[in-house]
Structure 1
Amino acid sequence: MDLSCFKAYDLRGRVPDQLNPALAERIGRAYVEVTGARKVIVGYDIRLSSPEIAEALSSGLMAAGADVFDIGLCGTEQVYFATSHYKMDGGIMVTASHNPKDHNGMKMVGPESRPISSDNGLNEIRDRVPEPFADAPKQGSYEPLEVMSAYVDHLLGYVDAGVLTPLTIVCNAGNGGAGLVIDELEQHLPFDFIKIHHQPDGHFPNGVPNPILPENRAVTADAVIEQGAAMGIAWDGDYDRCFFFDENGRFIEGYYIVGLLADQFLRKTGGGKVIHDPRLTWNTLDLVKAAGGEAIESKTGHAFIKQRMRDEDAVYGGEMSAHHYFRDFAYCDSGMIPWLLVAERLCQSGQTLSSLIDARIEAYPASGEINRTIDDPPKVIAAIEAKYSVGAKKVSHVDGVSIEFDDWRFNLRMSNTEPVVRLNVESRANIPLMEEKTEELLSEMDRLNREG
């Protein structure tokens, strides 16, 4: 039995050879046996194979004795929301996010929407799948569950309706599921939405929705300029990530959005803890401190950030990869709450998005994440650390290695899934220095890789 669709955090694979209804049915049975869940939320994304895989998954869950609450076509965050809001034992989202269109997968959570990954149950589920199963003495029941209205009410609770003023906003759902939520929110907001690639379509007529790819950004950027919009937003297929464009159509690095949201949230809460990843930090540290909060660094990756947020009872957590986490959203990530908060800030401040962001880019210019394929990543990272830690102010190993000097810093880390090393560099108000050090590090990495 091919179980290669089981990854570190979730399941992803090609349909039908790596994931298919027969395997999905067994995964449902294994999920119940390993977790003991009795009430499980099931939802699925817009992919053509998703309804069939979700149906087979539900059959397996019920055969093992669990009651299935089917929330239908949705985004990953609606499974998170429904699982915690309705106090279920777990939830499974059928999605492959931004993978190619012939792929599918699953994201699993337990009670309170706590992530199930390889270190807390996912490997046990994988190992249980090939073993024989017996039906439970009593089959589970099936019930459709409407969650959109409760979910939309919850989203609207993050913003003060009284300060919202008319804005024109370009939204690009990438033919994923986000458009369905925008249509619902639109009825409660004074915004004029310019909708592109709006209809859910698993054929992905405009390409797989992954706004992090530069070639996928132009359509949103152009629409912002053409419509004179206040900002643009683009989502991935299951809309747990959102990406921002300012009023000039410029794509905004996720790093600066983390700082903006931390500041916006702390203004509301009057302080609190904020979790951030170690790749780029200075802008976030600066804004969190100024807003009376406490910044806490965590290893990159949703399972680590969510656990750290629970441990610290943090109000907000952000990764520069456009994942944003909220305490009141079961410590989970949402692709809808961030843009609502940014829109609220534009209305409150009367400022443009570029003016809010430009000052931050000037204060802490960053390289953005640069990936290099390296034959022996640990060796290259160790060599870079040995060279650059001499005379450094601070060396940290929270995730890869972070090395800090007075006026610049960098983080170098390995990918969890491929022979790739990821570099991020930032400086204090010195673009030429940031660019010079980025080039220097990349040349050094190339040299070390060549010399093997």
Structure 2
Amino acid sequence: MATISAEALDSIFKAYDVRGTVPDQLDADVVERVGAAFARFARDEAEAGRHGPADRVLVAHDMRPSGPAFAEAFARGVISQGLDVIHMGLASTDLLFWAAGHFDAPGAMLTASHNPAQYNGIKLCLAGARPVGIETGLARIKQDTLTGLPERDRKGSITSVDALPAFAEHVHSFVDVAGLKPLKIVADAANGMGGLIAPAVFSGLPFELEVLYGELDGTFPNHPADPIQPENLRDLQARVVETGADVGLAFDGDADRVFLVDDQGQPLSGSLTTAIVAAAILEKHPGSTILYNLICSKAVPEIIRERGGKPVRTRVGHSFIKQVMAETGAAFGGEHSGHYYFRDNYRADSGIIAALVVLEVLSHAGEPLSSLRVPYERYADSGEINTRVRDAAAVIDRVAEHFAGAAQDRLDGLTVDLGDWWFNLRPSNTEPLLRLNLEARDRPSCDRHVEEVRALIAAADDATKGA
């Protein structure tokens, strides 16, 4: 194998996964090395008793052009370390993570999620869908990828499995299928894995499903597979209104996230969907602990308490959510970014499960989603606003000083609560950006305070020039 530099790996190993452009940052050789390093790590963790058996590894890929070759390369790395491979072929990330729980085996998903077409990557988990991040194994995998590992005398084998039918049954288990009502659904798959998963899961249910851009095409010929960006919802919004659909579903590239659009073509925020799903979970599991990340609306913990649940605030990111779920036994966790985690899904997130839970709520509501949503929406929010800065930590410190008299915490970035309004300022993990999320009582107040905080950020950034 060709040599690889530490600098090259620094560019692709992120906090939660491996991700880079193909082929200059990520190619089959690197992927094979990562496969070998992951196999060794998973086996050592199993032998140390820290998770279930690791005699086999699940491997799946999304619809990106490099996916099949990368999955084969990863499998070669795994079998070089004496472990077997169960090849799942095309899959969504939530299908792969469910399978890691169902089969009690480590897994690797070849995907770059919502990133543009030139990217690919690898999401990893241990048996039971336990997350693997930079602090929970990814740093070691990175080091072993750099140094390379010798092949073992015994090579593993590769077999194939189609797990989608069993996954569809699992998704159905979260609702009372007999109580579902005929609903018209438009799902925008953005040429991603939702085009495979949504029809399979909704098959046999009393829904009329229309799929927009359902052809699997990792070049994303219609629009980016990133539904958190409002411009990527426009085709779905228009189609929902045009056809009189009850709801629209927008999936990201690997289909583990979903954003909803109501019958009037208006999007639901991740916070709003978190609140609706949390209320539904609490009906079935009264008194449960429910997690929400600190970017979510204040309405989320309010609604959880009103419905008899116990809200717990967490940092942003799946590894933190899953850890707190394990510690608290939480039944559900939601993030503003469209990730929804379920205890009965091995604490992994799933967009299609969240979507089906909302469809069950809608089946029993006797009113359209545009009306059902109203009691859950109590504040105005800014959405995520990104600003490029020279020194994110220094800017955050200066903004914190300005609000020294207000309630603050540093759980994840800086959160400042001024009663009628609050904001969070977080640095990006991958870019010199600050991410601002702000919420206030009403739209004029929200807009005014956004300008206030943005002006402070700009002034603080200017002050770092001479620092």
TM-score computed with the length of structure 1 as normaliser: 0.96
What is the identity, as a one-letter code, of the residue corresponding to 1:434?
C
Q: Which of residues 16, 20, 23 is equivalent to 1:13? A: 20
The aligned residue for residue 435 of structure 1 is 447
The alignment partner of 2:373 has SS state of: helix
Shift of 1:196: 0.8
- Determine which of 286, 290, 295 is the counterpart of 1:270: 286
The 8 Å contact of residues 280 and 411 in structure 1, kept in 2 or not, is answered as no
Question: Which AA in structure 1 matches 2:461?
Answer: N
User: 1:265 Cα deviation (Å)?
Assistant: 0.9
Where do 1:5-84 residues align within 5 Å? 5-36=12-43, 37-84=54-101
1:52-451 alignment to 2 at 5 Å?
52-88=69-105, 90-361=106-377, 363-390=378-405, 392=406, 394-428=407-441, 430-451=442-463
Residues 279 and 402 of structure 1 are in contact (CA less than 8 Å); yes or no, is this contact kept in structure 2?
no
* 2:47 corresponds to: none
TM-score normalised to structure 2 length: 0.93
For structure 1, which runs of at least 5 residues remain unmatched after alignment? none
The answer to whether the 8 Å contact 2:60/2:91 transfers is yes
Contact 2:297 2:379 in 1 (8 A): no
Contact 1:66 1:141 in 2 (8 A): yes
Q: Is the 8 A contact 1:174 1:209 kept in 2?
A: yes
Instruction: Report the 3-state secondary structure (helix = DSSP H, G, I; strand = E; otherwise coil) of the residue aligned with 1:47.
Output: coil
- CA displacement 1:232-278 (0-9 Å, x = unmatched): 11111100110111111112221111111111111111121111111
Letter in 2 for 1:208: P
The answer to whether the Cα contact below 8 Å between 2:225 and 2:251 also exists between their aligned partners in 1 is: yes
Is the 1:283–1:360 Cα contact (8 Å) retained in structure 2?
Answer: yes
C-alpha distance in structure 1 between counterparts of 2:436 and 2:388, whole Å: 11
Query: For residues 133 and 435 of structure 1, do their structure 2 counterparts lie closer, same or farther at Cα, with a shift above 3 Å needed?
Result: closer
Give the conservation status (yes or no) of the 8 Å contact 2:133–2:319. Answer: yes
Task: Tell me the SS of whatever aligns to 1:130.
Answer: helix
Tell me which amino acid in the other structure corresponds to 1:220: L
Deviation for aligned residue 1:403? 1.6
Moved more, 18-27 or 39-48: 18-27
- 1:132–1:290 Cα change, 3 Å: closer
Contact kept, 8 Å, 2:276 with 2:376, in 1: the verdict is no
Distance 1:395 1:451 in 2: 22
Structure 2 counterpart SS, 1:87: coil
**Could you tell me whether the CA contact under 8 Å between 1:174 and 1:206 is conserved in 2?**
yes
Tell me, which stretches of 5 or more residues in structure 2 are unaligned? 44-53
Aligned-partner Cα distance in 2 for 1:373–1:131: 35
- Give the match's secondary structure for 1:333: coil
Decide whether the 8 Å contact of 1:94 with 1:106 is kept in 2. yes
1:115 CA displacement: 0.9
Superposed displacement of residue 298, structure 1: 0.9
SS across alignment from 1:129: helix
User: Is this contact kept in 2: 1:318–1:324, CA < 8 A?
Assistant: yes
| Residues 49-58 or 16-25, more deviating | 16-25
For 1:227, the aligned partner's letter is T
Whether contact under 8 Å (2:14, 2:134) holds in the other structure is yes
Structure 1 residue 132 displacement after superposition? 4.4
Aligned residues: 447
Contact 1:280 1:410 in 2 (8 A): no
Give the Cα separation in 2 of the matches to 1:33 and 1:194: 44
**Cα displacement string for residues 9-35 of structure 1 (whole angstroms, at most 9, x for unaligned residues):** 101111112111122221111112222
User: What CA RMSD, in Å, does the superposition of the two structures yield over aligned residues?
Assistant: 1.4
